[in-house]
Amino acid sequence: MVRLTRSVKTSGCAAKLPSKTLNEILSSLPLMEDENLIVGFETSDDALVYDLDGENLLVESVDFFPPVADEPYEFGQVAAANALSDLYAMGAVPKLAMNIMCFPSCMDLSIMKDILLGAQDKAREAGCVIAGGHTIADSTIKFGLAVTGFTTKKRLWTNKSAREGDVIVITKKLGVGIINTAAKAEMADECDVKAALESMKTLNKKAFETACLYDIHAATDITGFSLLGHLYEMAEAASLSVRLDSSSLPYFSASPELARLGLIPEGAYHNRDYIEDKVHFASSVPREITDIMFDPQTSGPLCLAMSEDDALSFVREFGEPAAIIGCFTARGGSVIDVS
């Protein structure tokens, strides 16, 4: 059997181009404008948002990457859960999707079929229809979805509208990038790999539906740019700072030891390089925990900003592994302060 993760150099969202490189290019492009375009490139949000009629909004995003699971069906599930998550992070319900597939012409076509089936089943679970796509021959597999969905002006969540005093909730454990890297090196326990895979396959649908019961001020999902990269974008967009309590972070128990052994994805170093000077770590924060905070996540958690009362109720309602990890404060010395 072909082990899909062996056929590629990088896996999942760790394959993203570094933020620094991407921002240099994007900021040099002229902005395209349309009076109905509410969210575009400018705030590095999770999806574009287009005003359909003054009330209803169309939300659209695309995400694809190299295999992060060895089983084709499971890779399809993870890729779909990851792509659908961008819409949940905007407060939108995904409705339509298209496949994007790069596939080696010499590879067994049943692998492609299983990837597509995995994605289809995950989309069905989300109530979303995959209705087309595009495939090209390439040297390595890459797969994902372009997803379209809908929300209303009242329920649109962007990454830029956090308020001073909001607390930050995340809804999945962190550290999957480190476990995926260890799995590639055959240095991870099977049960840890399985737990990470289950987390990546889990839709952010329940997190979205639970969040709909509360007044969400800002939201994003944590993916390739890591917890700190995405929080930095939220803080910058709202001109606030973030205070994080590292002892409250939910993460896979194997991740710190695997980080200590040097099984850290290259993307984590790019993330660190990009924003390390904006982050202050208390000397009591172990290096391995900082690694987890820079670790690129694939199909990671929703990250929600809301009042403290709502957050406490959300965490009770959602249950494990949701956790309150910090808060937004008035802009101080560092953009992010980790204790």
Partner 1 sequence: MNMLDTSGFSCPEPVIMTKKALKDRPASLDVIVDNVASRENVTRYAEATGYSVKRTDKDGKWILSLTR
| Given 47, 259, 279, 324, the residue binding partner 1 (CB under 8 A) | 259
Least gap, CB of 9 to partner 1 (angstroms) = 5
For residue 226, give the nearest of 293, 325, 304 by alpha carbon.
293
Active site residue 13: yes
Q: Which is nearer to partner 1, 46 or 192 (CB)?
A: 192
Least gap, CB of 187 to partner 1 (angstroms) = 8
Q: Which is nearer to partner 1, 183 or 235 (CB)?
A: 183
Least gap, CB of 185 to partner 1 (angstroms) = 4
- The reply to whether 275 sits near partner 1 by the rule CB under 8 A is no
Q: Which is nearer to partner 1, 124 or 260 (CB)?
A: 260
CA atoms within 13 A on the CB side of 78: 30
Contact window for partner 1 (CB under 8 A) among 166-174, 226-234, 266-274, 293-301 = 266-274
- The reply to whether 264 sits near partner 1 by the rule CB under 8 A is yes
Least gap, CB of 294 to partner 1 (angstroms) = 11
For residue 168, give the nearest of 113, 119, 238 by alpha carbon.
238
Tell me how far apart the alpha carbons of residues 54 and 152 are, in angstroms, rounded to a whole number. Answer: 9
Tell me how far apart the alpha carbons of residues 260 and 257 are, in angstroms, rounded to a whole number. Answer: 5
Tell me how far apart the alpha carbons of residues 250 and 209 are, in angstroms, rounded to a whole number. Answer: 21
**73: part of which helix (H) or strand (E)?**
helix 72-88
Contact status, residue 107 vs residue 43, Cβ threshold 8 Å:
no
- The reply to whether 269 sits near partner 1 by the rule CB under 8 A is yes
- The reply to whether 185 sits near partner 1 by the rule CB under 8 A is yes
For residue 144, give the nearest of 99, 112, 84 by alpha carbon.
99
Contact window for partner 1 (CB under 8 A) among 72-80, 225-233, 246-254, 263-271 = 263-271
**303: part of which helix (H) or strand (E)?**
strand 302-306
- The reply to whether 273 sits near partner 1 by the rule CB under 8 A is yes
Contact window for partner 1 (CB under 8 A) among 28-36, 121-129, 195-203, 261-269 = 261-269
Q: How many residues bind partner 1 (CB under 8 A)?
A: 19
Residue 185 gets which letter from DSSP? T
Q: Which is nearer to partner 1, 165 or 256 (CB)?
A: 256
Q: Could you tell me which residues come within 8 angstroms of residue 113 by beta carbon, excluding any fewer than 6 positions away?
A: none
Burial string for 262-275 (b: 16+ CB within 10 Å, else e) reads ebbbebbebbbebb
Contact status, residue 220 vs residue 300, Cβ threshold 8 Å:
no
- Site track 97-136 with partner 1 (rule: CB under 8 A), x = hit: ----------------------------------------
Contact status, residue 99 vs residue 131, Cβ threshold 8 Å:
no
- The reply to whether 189 sits near partner 1 by the rule CB under 8 A is no
- The reply to whether 44 sits near partner 1 by the rule CB under 8 A is no
Tell me how far apart the alpha carbons of residues 236 and 241 are, in angstroms, rounded to a whole number. Answer: 8
Site for partner 1 in 10-39 (CB under 8 A): 10
Tell me how far apart the alpha carbons of residues 160 and 156 are, in angstroms, rounded to a whole number. Answer: 11
- Site track 164-183 with partner 1 (rule: CB under 8 A), x = hit: -----------------xx-
Instruction: List contacts with partner 1 (CB under 8 A).
Output: 9-10, 181-182, 184-187, 259-266, 268-269, 273
Q: Which residues are catalytic, by number?
A: 13
